[in-house]
Each structure stands twice: as structure tokens, then as C-alpha cells.
Structure 1
Amino acid sequence: MPAVTVVPSDKLIIVDGEALVFAYEAPASLHALQWSGETGHTEWTDGRPNQPLTAADYATQVAPFVTAWQAEKARREEDAAREAAARALPDAKAAKTAEVLSGYDAALAASLTMPTETPTAQDVSIGAALFAVDDAEGLAFVRETHAARRVELLAAVEAADTVEAVQAVEVSYAV
């Protein structure tokens, strides 16, 4: 049997050290119930002395509070699971969108600075300027090609209706 503390005025039930605060039914004059797992007592606000509880009292005096606590805990866990599921798709879309945008930047940088493996911002600027001077139409084509792929990928992310569908969007650019 679990250790249980009940304090109705605080709407508090603690089972094995885990406290939950919620509305539940209790006798009007019950100040507190303490149960160690084997024995316990009740405390009253109406002048009654503390009343001892034994294992024989568990089913009628303690178990209803444990059952209420278990139901509240299960309800909260279900709510948390629903909230997590509701956040999962927007979070997955945000992460994939960031990946698409980062991939676009990397593809454009790579196209402008080949064969540099890890181009700096200066390398990209110089590469763009040189490309524009040498082949302005080619630069426009590269930018349009990468931009079109970015739009395509972002549309696929937006259209996805499950986390799995978002994760299945493969971010790739022709470089």
C-alpha cells in the first residue's frame, strides 16, 4: 500500500511522495489524513480527536483518495500527451523549414564558390560578383533554380499533415 497524505483544505493529495493539487470529495470536517503504507490516522477540524487507521480501514478510508489521485494523474498524463502531439507537427515543420532554408543558403554558397569546401561570407560575395561579371544569366539561372527548389521544399513541408510526412521531405539542392 502506498504512503498517502490528504489535506482537503489545500486540495492536496500526496501518494508515495508525488503531490497533486485538484478538487476532490472529502468529509467536510476532515483536516488531514496520514497513511504510512501500513497504518495512519485522520485529523479533524470539528473537535474530534485524531482517529487511528489500520489496514482494515484502508479500503474505505484511504483507497478512495488514492483512486481519485490516480484518476487525476492519468487525466494529466493524457492531457500532456495530447499537448505534445499537438506541438509535434508544428515543431517538426519549424525544424524542417529551418533545414530547407539552411540548405538553400549552403547550395547557393556552394554554387558560387566551387570548389571551396567551407566558403566564408567573403568567398560567397566575391564568387557572386565574379559570377555576375562573367555570366550574369548563369548567376540568375543558379539563383532561380535554387529558389524554385526552396519553394518546392517549403510547399512540401507546409502540405505535410503528419510528423512522419514532414520528416520524409528530403532536403536536397542541385549543386
Structure 2
Amino acid sequence: MSAVTVVPADRLIIVDGEALLLEFSAPEGLHALQWKGESGHTEWTDGPNRLLTAADYGEQVAPFVTAWQAEKARREEDAAREAAARALPDARAAKTAEIQSGYDAALAASLTMPVDSPTAQDVSIGAALFAVDDAEGLAFVRETHAARRDELLAAVAAAESVEAVQAVEVSYAV
């Protein structure tokens, strides 16, 4: 049997150290109930404390444990539903960030080849030189990467499950 504390005035039930606030009914005048293992006691606002024995558990303690278990299960179900509802938007946001990062990297690589780890300055200089040498080529590279980015973003927007979002492979031709 569990360790149980009940404080009706505070709408508090604690089972094995886990506290929940919930609505429940209790006998009139019950200030608190304490139970640990095989025994416990009740504290009353209008009378003396009363000892509880193992024989009292089913009638005196178990209803509070049952109420606590039902409330805990309800909260866990609510949390699971909320997590499921957030999963797809969270997956879409993460994949969108991955797509944008891939776009930025592909554009930087296209402007700075053969530099392995281009800096912002390398990208700026590469873009300026590319624009001077081949403005149409620069426009083509930007449009090609932007079209791929938009294609990937559309696939993410159309995905109806987390798995479908995660299946979108982020790749750019560089």
C-alpha cells in the first residue's frame, strides 16, 4: 500500500510523494488523512485524530487513491494529446529551418567554390565577382537554389504527418 496524504481544504492528494490538486469529496470535518504502508490516521476539525489500520484502507484511504489515479491518468492523456498536436508543427518548423540552412549553404558554396568553409566576407566577395563576371549566371544560380528551396518548403507544408515531414530530404545541387 502507498504513502497517502489528503488535505480536503486544499484539494490536495499526495500519493507516494506525487501531489495533485483536484476536486474530490471527503467526509465533513476531515482536516487531513495520513497513510503510510499498513496504517495511518485521520485528523478532524471537530474531534480527535483517529488511527487507521490495514482493515480501514479500502473504505477510508482507497477512494482518495482511486481519485488521484483517475486524475493522474486524465492529465497524462491530456499531455499526450497536446504533445501529439504539437508534433507536426514542431517537425515542420525544424524541417523549415533545415531547408533554409541548406539553401544558405548551397548559395554560399555556389558563390565561393572551391572554398570549404566560406566566411561571410568570402560570400560577399564571391557574389560581387560573380555579378561582375556573369550577372545572368548569378541570377540563374540564385533562382535554381530558390526554386529547390520553395519545392522543399511546399513538400513540408503538404506533409500530413511527422514521418512525412521527416522524409523530406533536404538537398541542393551545388
Could you say which TM-score interval applies, normalised by the shorter chain? Answer: over 0.9
Aligned: 1:24 with 2:24: yes
What letter corresponds to residue 82 of structure 1 in structure 2?
R
Partner SS, residue 94 of structure 1: helix
**Pairwise CA distance, 1:50:** 1.0
Find runs of 4+ consecutive structure 1 residues off by over 3 angstroms.
none
1:153-175 per-residue CA deviation (whole Å, 9 max, x = no partner) reads 11111111111111001000000
Aligned: 1:158 with 2:160: no
Partner of 2:64: 65
1:37-64 per-residue CA deviation (whole Å, 9 max, x = no partner) reads 1111111112x21111100000010000
Partner of 1:2: 2
TM-score, with length taken from structure 1: 0.97
Partner SS, residue 82 of structure 2: helix
| Runs of 5+ unmatched residues, structure 2 | none
What letter corresponds to residue 5 of structure 2 in structure 1?
T
**Pairwise CA distance, 1:80:** 0.7
Aligned: 1:115 with 2:114: yes
Partner of 1:35: 35
Aligned: 1:98 with 2:90: no
Partner SS, residue 42 of structure 1: strand
Q: For 2:67 and 2:94, how far apart are their aligned partners in 1? A: 40
Partner of 2:168: 169
Q: For 1:123 and 1:51, how far apart are their aligned partners in 2? A: 81
Q: For 1:58 and 1:68, how far apart are their aligned partners in 2? A: 14
**Pairwise CA distance, 1:129:** 1.0
**Pairwise CA distance, 1:114:** 0.5
Q: For 2:16 and 2:105, how far apart are their aligned partners in 1? A: 53
Identity, % of aligned positions: 84
Q: For 2:17 and 2:123, how far apart are their aligned partners in 1? A: 59
Partner of 1:74: 73
Partner SS, residue 93 of structure 1: helix
TM-score, with length taken from structure 2: 0.98
**Pairwise CA distance, 1:133:** 1.2
- Number of residues of Structure 1 aligned to a counterpart in Structure 2: 174
**Pairwise CA distance, 1:9:** 0.2
What letter corresponds to residue 151 of structure 1 in structure 2?
D
Q: For 1:28 and 1:159, how far apart are their aligned partners in 2? A: 58
Instruction: Please report the RMSD computed on the Cα atoms of aligned residues, expressed in angstroms.
Output: 0.7
Q: For 2:94 and 2:72, how far apart are their aligned partners in 1? A: 31
Partner SS, residue 40 of structure 1: strand
